[in-house]
Amino acid sequence: MDRDYLRTPRTWDARGIGRFMLVLGPTSSVFDITTFLLMWHVFGADSELHQALFQSGWFVEGLLTQTLVVHMLRTRRIPFLQSRATFPVLLMTVLVMAVGLWLPFSPLAGVLGTQALPMSYFPWLAGTLAAYCLLTQGVKSWYIRRFGEWL
């Protein structure tokens, strides 16, 4: 959290948390659906034969978006540009994302039910991550304007 946010004690309002979940929750679902469609239609992971490929793409996208959302939600500001997390949080973000990207290529891939992703997957992934961050920031900004608060 930003230092200025932590200066003022706050109580959490269950109604506000529920509203927050209803507004921001569907954001990640949009990208789950687009990743499903991408893996199914673009990469042909549309049968049991290609299950490991589908799971690899889904796993990597899910892990990376959910890791980035920590940064998106921790501040009212624009993350990475106007507000940065502490060094340990940034370091863990990089480590988690690196391990997540490595696992489908690792010796553990077979045990995990994954396989190496084609290099053509990664521009799609970069676009998905950028779009996810932009949409989350947009919804967050709208939420703050509409309800006058951020968590």
pLDDT-based confidence at 59, cuts 50/70/90? Answer: very high
- Say if residue 128's pLDDT is above 80: yes
Q: What is the pLDDT of residue 1?
A: 73
Q: What is the pLDDT of residue 15?
A: 87
pLDDT-based confidence at 102, cuts 50/70/90? Answer: very high
Q: Which residue has the tokens 């890791």?
A: 67
- pTM (two decimals): 0.89
Mean pLDDT across the stretch 81-104? 96
Going from N- to C-terminal start, the domains of the chain cover: 14-147
Which of the two residues, 104 and 149, has the higher pLDDT score? 104
Q: What is the pLDDT of residue 35?
A: 96
pLDDT-based confidence at 133, cuts 50/70/90? Answer: very high
Q: Give the model confidence (pLDDT) of 9-57 as tens digits.
A: 777 788 888 998 998 889 999 999 999 999 999 999 999 999 999 999 9
